[in-house]
Chains A and B, each alone.
Chain A
């Protein structure tokens, strides 16, 4: 081995007459020059890559493939849960995907477009986010365009399953006000006070909200939709408070669909009603334990039943596994007792649930999740409801039901 090496060295030396003939100091000087030039070239190359066109447009995507099934007994016909789970395994309701393009227009301006399609909506692609972001300073930024409303802690990424540990966020809070996108302007300010950092944002816009199957897809028009939300981060803790208000209107025709009779019979209407959504949330995540809790209120300033809801989740990271348990509740508030009981029963929200879930990280960008939810107490002394279950005419046989969900969530 040594012999081979010395032969090779010898050949190298004899093949390099320049090296052999030049005085040593000269060689070192040259080497230094080369090194310097090389370093300069490398620096230039890095500087170029940083301002490269490829870097000015960033593409990110997410995808969730899921299936769900509801175990619910009805006197006749079938029933389905608000997130689409029905008595047969269905693949549509939890399946969804999105692609987001971030285009840097200048040092301070950025255009962001997010295309989104879901099985819920027969995979018709829609623009979920489309806004211009302008960085006024290191701490203040403005957005204008179509953005997802930031009502609750996880509202803005409700479709990105990979971003949270649940297979499906607690419906008691997240399906209460099914507002998703709005056309708005938003200003946000980031600042720190010692070890705590904060984000304060305010927005103003408008939106049309589909109330969902339970109210025959009545359209709630929300004007002057404005809100503030304040989030503080300290080590592993996140605390958030939000208040959003709007003037909400529903046409008499849609109201008739929701009520099942002409609203004029009872002298009811729904015009420019002051409505607010308020929520507080607390989250802890130290990489070993996960805790999240929120309390929310949706309040209509008229005869329409208001609701209060909340949930508490605790999870434990165990290597690639994460078992978790959630308790959630929604109850009606301020019921108008002068209205017929049937009307309140039809519109009020009343439900409790226990959910046990398990998350497994397959890779660092794919998560598999399974979840069993047990829903109960749809009725109490004030109201008789079917919770977030929707029947095609029949009644629920029991005051409880179960939903199973499985999903694979990924980001790319």
Chain B
């Protein structure tokens, strides 16, 4: 019995870890985003959603949470995103999202500015944040 419980817990923990959610500040006017909107925001194709100005933030590169997010929501690997941004940067069509230094910084920044849109492990969401998309 103990064993089963333990493995269930492990599975739950793994599931929680593998699930990045998209967050905005609790004061943001946004309540929910569609997958297409999330893609457009993180591809730099739009800066405005439902009349609200949005600025995406990225977790540090080479991190598992970031790779998970791009794989699950945009279907792209880190290399594929890098190649995409090379196309944007060197043609003046856009810059990749600002990169925060840690998940704590993501929580603080998104919580403090209603324009920021970030993503996080669901377990790290605080009352300052509002989940607007779950993959």
Contact = CB atoms under 8 A, between A and B. Distances in A.
A365 B39 contact: no
B3 interface: no
A198 to B, nearest CB: 9
Contacts of A365: 82
A160 B85 CA distance: 11
B92 A233 contact: no
B98 A162 contact: no
A163 B93 CA distance: 14
A148 B79 contact: no
Contacts of B95: 58, 102
Interface residues of B, number: 35
A97 to B, nearest CB: 12
A287 B75 contact: yes
Interface string B15-59: 000000000000000000010100110010111100001000000
Given A139-B48, A197-B46, A286-B75, A160 B92 contact: no
Interface string B97-115: 0100000010011001000
Nearest to B75: A287
A192 B46 CA distance: 8
Given A195-B36, A197-B46, A235-B36, A143 B108 contact: no
A66 B74 CA distance: 32
Contact of A411 (B46, B82, B93): B82
Give the bracket for the number of chain A residues in contact with chain B.
Answer: 35 or more
Contacts of A42: 108
Given A60-B89, A129-B92, 17 more contacts: A39-B108, A42-B108, A43-B112, A46-B109, A47-B112, A62-B86, A100-B89, A102-B95, A139-B48, A156-B90, A157-B91, A163-B86, A163-B87, A164-B87, A192-B46, A236-B75, A411-B82
Listed from nearest, the 7 A-B pairs whose CB atoms lie closest are A195-B36, A156-B91, A163-B86, A197-B45, A138-B47, A287-B75, A163-B87
Interface of A: 39, 42-43, 46-47, 50, 58, 60, 62, 98, 100, 102, 112, 114, 129, 131, 133, 138-139, 143, 147-148, 150, 156-157, 160, 162-164, 190, 192, 194-195, 197, 199, 233, 235-236, 285-288, 317, 361, 364-365, 367, 411
